[in-house]
Amino acid sequence: MAVFKNFWNFIQDKMLGTGEAIIRSEDLPELVDREKLTELMTYEFALCTGINIIANALSACEIRTFVRNKEVHGDEYYLWNYSPHYNYNANEFLQKIVWNLIYRNECLVIETRGGLVVADSYEHEVYALYQDVFRNVVVNSDSQSGVVHPYTFPQSFKMDQVLFYRLNSRNVKSIMDYLMEGYRELLDTAVDKFQKSAGERGVLTIDGNAAAVQNYGQKSDGTPRTFNDVFTEMMNDRFKSYFNAKNAVMPMWKGFDYQVKTSEASKRTTSEVKDITDMTTEITTKVANALQIPPQLMLGTAAEVKQLTRNLITFGIRPIADVIETENNRKRNGKEVLKGTYQMIDLTGIEYTDIFEAAQGAYNLLGSGASIDEIRILTGRPEIGSEWSRKHLISKNFSDLESMEDSNKIGNGGTDPPATQAPVPGGDAPHSDNSEPEEKGGKEEENAEEN
């Protein structure tokens, strides 16, 4: 296990930039215990799955840029949403930032003539009263394709010349390494139990006279082979190859008889498999909790996907987005942020929106003052871009407080016209106490009598 830890420390040193080593491929079998290396497969798979979930979700977000509180699509918008560097696109760039943040708890970005590049290794000098300094910054040393040509900057960089993202005070990966150490031992026990229950067992019978009468040939140096030489070779090499092979035949010397214990080998139970499955689930859950990801999403057992996605955005993605957004505004916009010049990572693009489910909400937004183009953007549709689609509409059901107060004053001040009394069927016409209508009615009656 110590040899394996040394190899893992070599990997960590290479990733963290704290050391340098040269290792040849032919040295790996001697340095790495493949059985121990297999232990980490479940842990590394869960870790990579969690990082990919966060990185893919964040790379789907739009980084919106504003100048004087007005959204603009200029050079800064193109830099962060399409091409931060001429060798890779914005999605690759953000994914690399997320991987560095989780693995190393920090990420250093340098601006060059070609755009923005993520540093693979560097020396960080920390000061209390002065700016931190970054020296020996190396980029392009971990490319996954092509012939790699790393570059080391000859100059040093001060803190105000770089974008330096820090996730939190404690390394998430260090916490997970500490937690997983105990689970690796438990996983060892479970795998060993499974191998013993499913492995082949047999009995090797050796004739008592085999050592005396058998001629076992000669060694490579010409000396005769003894019984002990043959027995050691058979137990350590031949049987191991025989058991590991899917189909195999092993010749036996005279006086050796091997019989398979079929009753033991045929026993199969599901408890051993369940032990490994439970341990895998436990490891995945621990990694998910460390990354602030709902475990159901990583295990593939999610039922309420919408609610789990919201939890993922709130606890797993938004903190990382806030780190990137705050550092970008602090370094690239400065105090202009106070005047409305800033950038914002829009997380609404992570969750898929069904336009039929969102129809009622879109209708309410439209009546509350949102334009058609704004609603189309929120639902993942392109803008129409016409004059009528950019108009802001509002329903008559909404009014400001001052207008409501004025209406109440008019109603309570007695200035409304008096209500008229409805005529009674079969009765006299409605009248009031005024004398003029009575005089008019009397003249009409006199004219009727004269006629």
Residue 129 CB-density burial (10 A; 0-12 exposed, 13-18 middle, 19+ buried): exposed
- Asked whether the predicted pLDDT for residue 42 surpasses 80, the reply is no
Q: In the prediction, which pLDDT does 233 show?
A: 79
CA separation for the pair 287, 298 (Å, rounded): 9
Query: What is d(CA 392, CA 188) in angstroms, rounded to the nearest whole number?
Result: 64
pLDDT in tens, 140-176: 887 766 788 899 999 999 999 999 999 875 657 676 6
Residue 274: CB partners within 8 Å, gap ≥ 6? none
Higher pLDDT, 436 or 316: 316
pLDDT band, residue 2 (cuts 50/70/90): very low
User: What are the two backbone dihedrals, phi and then psi, of residue 67, each rounded to the nearest 5 degrees?
Assistant: -130, 120
Lowest-confidence region among 176-180, 188-192, 272-276, 424-428: 424-428
Residue pLDDT, tens place only, 388-440: 888 887 777 766 656 656 666 665 554 555 544 444 444 444 444 444 444 44
Confidence of residue 345 (pLDDT cuts 50, 70, 90): very high
> In angstroms, how far is CA 144 from the centroid of its own chain?
21
Structure tokens at 185: 């031992």
- Mind listing the pLDDT tens digit for each residue in 117-133? 999 999 999 999 999 99
Q: Please report the pLDDT score of residue 375 as a whole number.
A: 81
Instruction: Give the predicted TM-score (pTM) of the model.
Output: 0.62
CA dihedral (100, 106, 112, 116) positive or negative: positive
Mean pLDDT of the 40-62 span: 85
Q: Taking 70 as the threshold, does the pLDDT of residue 116 lie above it?
A: yes
Distance CA 216, CA 229 (A): 9
**pLDDT of amino acid 16:** 46
- For the chain, the average pLDDT equals 75
Q: What residue spans define the domains of the chain?
A: 202-260, 355-402
| Cα 358 to chain centroid, rounded | 25
pLDDT tier, 37 (very low <50, low <70, confident <90, very high otherwise): low
Return the minimum-mean-pLDDT range out of 79-93, 238-252, 426-440: 426-440
Dist. CA 57–CA 59, nearest whole Å: 6
Of residues 301, 292, 311, 196, the one with CA closest to residue 243: 196
- pLDDT score recorded for residue 165: 96
Name the burial class of residue 80, with classes exposed (0-12), middle (13-18) and buried (19+) by CB atoms within 10 angstroms of its CB.
Answer: buried
* DSSP string computed for 226-295: PHHHHHHHIIIIIHHHHHHSSS------TTEEEEE-HHHHT---SHHHHHHHHHHHHHHHHHHHHTT--H
What pLDDT, on the 0 to 100 scale, is given for residue 206? 73
Q: What is the pLDDT of residue 424?
A: 46
pLDDT tens across 129-138, in order?
A: 999 999 999 9
CA dist., res. 181 & res. 209, Å (int) = 51
pLDDT band at 94 (very low <50, low <70, confident <90, very high): very high
Which backbone phi and psi does 381 adopt, to 5 degrees? -105, 155
